[in-house]
Structure 1
Amino acid sequence: MKTPVLPLFALAAAAAVPGQAAAKQGDVQLKLLATLVVPDGKISDVELDAIGLPAGTQTRANDNVTPTIAIEYFVAGHVSIETIAGVTQHDVDGRGALDGAELVSDAKIVPATLTLKYHFGADGGIRPYVGAGPSYFIFIDEKSGAAAVALGATRQKMDDSFGVALQAGVDVPLNAKGLGLTLDAKRYFLRPTAHWYAGTTEVLRTEHKLDPWVISAGVAYRF
């Protein structure tokens, strides 16, 4: 039976060791995380359709769990800049008239993100934070799914896309040497465009509401 993440963090907070040194300008915090990526992926607009999508066709991207690394630099005691590194992989399946049909296979995404964060709480104690910043999603090695190939679209490409991320989380110190636990949630807002080709001819172009939730938990070390 799986143990809920939030109760684990509540127990850690109750057992946290007070007295961790206050964050100061120039500190760096490294986080090793397990990250759940929950995208939407629905079609928001069909810009070109030369293959005759069935009426009522809609799409949904699958969820994925992936390891990520976050690197955070403190520009002041309560203010930091953070970036994340990781790759997440998703299929896009049909809904409605093409329910369950695979339209995009193994699209790998690098969610390049930079957030400006403000940390609350007493120095050396439990510190909730909020943040926001730009993102740039880089799509790698995506392919047409079996259903798209059957419709005549043999090649697929997602446009890299700019967006914005909102962030909230909490850091929980475990000792006085910089070790801690961290829980983080981000919501991204972006609208990438997908292109399907038959040979070199574009036969389908759709805009998608990606808007993933990105939920991470792991360990942190500040030095």
Structure 2
Amino acid sequence: MKATFISYAAALALAFPMAAHAGAPDGKIQVKLLGTAVLPDGGISTVRATSLALPAKTDTSANDNYVPTVAIEYFLSNAVSVETICCTTSHHVDGAGAIAGVTHLIDDILIVPATVTLKYHLTGLGPVKPYVGAGPSYFLVLDSKIGAGGKAALGATDASLKSKLGFALQAGVDIPVGGNGFGVSLDAKRYFMRPLARFSNAAGATLLETRHELDPWVLSAGLSYRF
């Protein structure tokens, strides 16, 4: 995580000097460096296939994570913009409900939440600029593997979480600080994402296949620069 944060900070540091001579609160481009909390649900929405005798009320949950993110925004007009974000987030899936004591069913899940939102900014409210947005998101799963709980509780030797296309809703506020393009940004996104998890044995046979309500809240706060 430290290396990721350094790379994002370096990218933003390079962007700021290039635009320093042209910083403006009504510029076309805005770059943000944010601290972000990724708060997923991770419960089972559907059991698609199983050869296991699962206890009634078997469920799962995914752990929270806190990461740095970079957002880049282009203003089509004073009220409309398009924004994308850059980050990776890491999680694991634990048992819940009837299997609440089982931890790390799936481990080392690394996700790139590729997201593009179209945003509408409320104007005429002075320096405080609230906005709402919505757009598609693709959760690209770079890595996932069987955890200790998946081996012990399910007898699985392999597990994977599949990449998935979903949707995001967004709301937030930009608060300019001075007249040179700098500001403070607060942002909240709710993702609607239902990826598929698969557990298999050494022979490659499917033991369990489940769809999950990942549906994370993604809450961010940080600094912005518009030019």
Q: Which residue of 2 aligns with 1:152?
A: 155
Once residues 158 and 52 of structure 2 are traced to their aligned partners in structure 1, the CA distance between those partners, rounded to angstroms, is 13
The answer to whether residue 223 in structure 2 is matched with residue 222 in structure 1 is no
Deviating runs (4+, > 4 A) in structure 1?
none
Q: Which residue of 1 aligns with 2:191?
A: 188
Determine if contact 2:70/2:87 at 8 Å carries over to the other structure. Answer: yes
Which amino acid in 2 is paired with 1:37? V
1:14 paired residue number: none
Q: Cα distance, 1:112 vs. partner?
A: 0.6
Query: Does residue 23 of the first structure (1) align with residue 26 of the second (2)?
Result: yes
2:167 matches 1:161: no
SS state at 2:98 partner = helix
Corresponding position: 1:207 with 2:211? yes
Given candidates 112, 130, 146, the residue that maps to 1:110 is 112
CA distance in 1, matches of 2:122, 2:77: 12
% same residue: 54
Deviations 1:193-214 (A, max 9, x none): 1111112222110011111100
Distance 1:157 1:61 in 2: 14
What is the TM-score when the length of structure 1 is the normalising length?
Answer: 0.86
Q: What is the RMSD computed on CA atoms of the aligned residues?
A: 1.5
Task: Please report how far the alpha carbon of residue 124 of structure 1 lies from its aligned counterpart in structure 2 after TM superposition.
Answer: 6.8
Letter in 2 for 1:216: S
1:179 equivalenced with 2:194 (yes/no): no
What is the 5 A alignment of 1:14-163?
Answer: 21-23=24-26, 27-101=28-102, 102-122=104-124, 125-150=127-152, 151-163=154-166
* TM value normalised by structure 2: 0.85
| Contact 2:189/2:217 (<8 A) preserved | yes
After superposition, the Cα gap between the structure-2 partners of 1:173 and 1:217, relative to the gap in structure 1 and judged at 3 Å, is same
Matched-pair contact (CA < 8 Å) for 1:22–1:123? no
User: Counterparts of 2:142 and 2:216 in 1: how far apart (Å)?
Assistant: 17
Gaps in structure 1 of 5+ consecutive residues? 1-19
Q: Is the 2:195–2:214 contact (alpha carbons within 8 Å) kept by the matching residues of 1?
A: yes
Structure 2: gaps of 5 or more residues: 1-22
Query: Number of residues paired by the alignment?
Result: 202
